[in-house]
Amino acid sequence: DVKVTQSSRYLVKRTGEKVFLECVQDMDHENMFWYRQDPGLGLRLIYFSYDVKMKEKGDIPEGYSVSREKKERFSLILESASTNQTSMYLCASSTGRDSSYEQYFGPGTRLTVT
């Protein structure tokens, strides 16, 4: 079974803090994704990565950065957390070069910024 794990299920941070969300997959997938999920908005893509050290912006990259130093690990960084970044963050991975393949999701990290 594909397993995607995220470092925390719940996280509370203060405004202005630097926040790291970690995601690890164990199936040697090339592609990894970070989404945020907000009520009424569905899932929105923040960043994705095709390969180690490769990254591309999704639909809402502002205020975020990512890092992929190893194939299995994809980190989402909030450089200076703000209250409007309070959300559920979901990491996913998939095989294949394009998104015609299904994505496998982690359990999510619910981040609260106070």
Closest by Cα among 27, 26, 18, 38 to 78:
18
- Contact between 86 and 37 under an 8 Å Cβ cutoff? The reply is no
Closer to other proteins by CB, 16 or 107: give it. Answer: 107
Amino acid at position 95, single letter: T
Distance of closest approach, residue 22 Cβ to other proteins, in angstroms: 16
- If the CB atoms of residues 66 and 90 are measured against other proteins, the closer one turns out to be 90
Residue numbers at the binding site for other proteins (CB under 8 A): 9, 31, 33, 40-45, 48, 50, 56, 58-59, 88, 90, 92, 97-108, 110
Query: Quick one: 84 or 100, whose CB is closer to other proteins?
Result: 100
CB 77 within 8 A of CB 66: yes
> Measured from the CB of residue 41, what is the shortest distance to other proteins in angstroms?
6
What radius of gyration, in Å, describes the C-alpha atoms of the chain? 13
